[in-house]
Amino acid sequence: MASIRDIRKHIGSVKSIKQITHAMKMVAAARIKRAQSGIMSARPFSDEMDSLIGDLYREMEEEDFMASPAYKLFEEKPVSGAVCLVLVTADKGLCGSFNTNLLKAALAWLKEYRGKKIYALAVGRKGRDLLKRLKGLNLELYFEMVNIFPKADYAKAEIIGEKVLELFLGRDIERVTLIYNEFKSMLTQRIVIGDLLPLKSRALVSGTAVKCGDFNFEPSKTKLLEALLPRQLKAQLYRVLLESQAAELAARMNAMESASKNAEELIEGLTLKMNKTRQAMITTELSEIVGGAEALGG
């Protein structure tokens, strides 16, 4: 049986852990409001950019547009090309199943394309570490960016966007796929697996069916589209960073709240055990005293 000193030491350790988990929960709760505000601002802009690109693309004359550099971002390449993965994870742990679910989704995606050349862009330390450990795949870690959460900004999205464009336009890339956690609510995050490039399939379902022929464009529609496409891509990536950041904070806040509750229950159980141990010791001592007195009296 553990001594009272050992139990008290154990209780002290659990209380120290509880203080840490409670502090982490409060920090995440303080940051989540700002992260939510950022998402609410980024989502409408991102959606409108998608809609505008879709409207312009449907109005393009195929012959003229094919000569534009922007056409390469819409062109659906042969399935024999390489593929690219943009994996957005957290830099730290202690956020429940946030990273675990992302890494499982990434591994399933990599397994699906294991026969192809794979280029990877890792945002977040957890994803970077996984991709570096993988063996037996034709995988190249093309770019990595770590230690940006919880202070992700548009400048980081610009850098990632430039690398994605550089890779897609400079190599024979069939598709660029994004895997990240989308913030749904304080209790829910959703794994999103979607193609970032090429844009053709997204452009055909986006838009508002506005007839651009009713407007005059200066410069031309093609020039306007060429100028908008890099901004649209970076706006999408910025939204993804904000979504992942808010989802991570929400997951960490919930995980630390659960950890604090578990620590409290463990402290209560250890306190009860300590009291029972003390009671048993007192009972034993009293029995020995009574037995010794009876022996003397006899």
204 has pLDDT over 70: no
Average pLDDT value for the chain:
86
Asked whether the beta carbons of 190 and 202 are under 8 A apart, the reply is no
Task: Dump pLDDT digits (tens) for 91-105.
Answer: 998 898 899 999 999
Please give the tally of structural domains in the chain: 1
Is-cis flag, bond preceding 150, omega within 30? yes
Residue 110 counted as domain residue: yes
**What is the structure's pLDDT at 50?**
83
Calpha distance 112→104 (Å, rounded)? 12
Q: What is the pLDDT of residue 193?
A: 94
Quick check: is 5 in a domain? no
pLDDT of residue 83: 93
Residue 157 lies in a domain: yes
Percent of the chain with pLDDT over 70: 90
- Tell me what pLDDT residue 288 has: 77
Query: For 207, left (φ over 0), alpha (ψ -120 to 50), or beta?
Result: left
Mean pLDDT for 130-135 is 90
Give domain status of residue 239, yes or no: yes
Residue 78 belongs to a domain with what CATH number? 3.40.1380.10
Tens of pLDDT along 240-285?
A: 999 999 999 999 999 999 999 999 999 999 999 888 888 888 888 7
pLDDT for res 140: 92
Other Cβ atoms closer than 10 A to 206: 19
Q: Residue 188 is part of which domain span?
A: 22-255
pLDDT given for residue 49 in this prediction: 84
Residue 197 counted as domain residue: yes
Q: What is the pLDDT of residue 63?
A: 55
Average pLDDT on 156-167 reads 94
Q: How confident is the model at residue 178 (pLDDT cuts 50, 70, 90)?
A: very high
Residue 222 within any structural domain of the chain:
yes
In the numeric block, the tokens 């946030």 are attached to 98
In a domain, 89, yes or no: yes
Given the residues 73, 95, 241, 270, the one annotated as active site: 95
**pLDDT reading at 206 higher than 80:** no
Instruction: Give the mean pLDDT of 152-157.
Output: 92
Cα–Cα distances (Å) from 211 to 44, 52, 113, 216, 232, in that order, read 21, 11, 39, 11, 20
> For residue 93, what is the enclosing H or E element?
none
The model's pLDDT over 53-89, given as tens digits with 9 standing for 90+, comes to 887 777 776 556 666 777 788 877 777 779 999 999 9
Has residue 72 been placed in a domain?
A: yes
Q: Is 212 a catalytic residue?
A: no
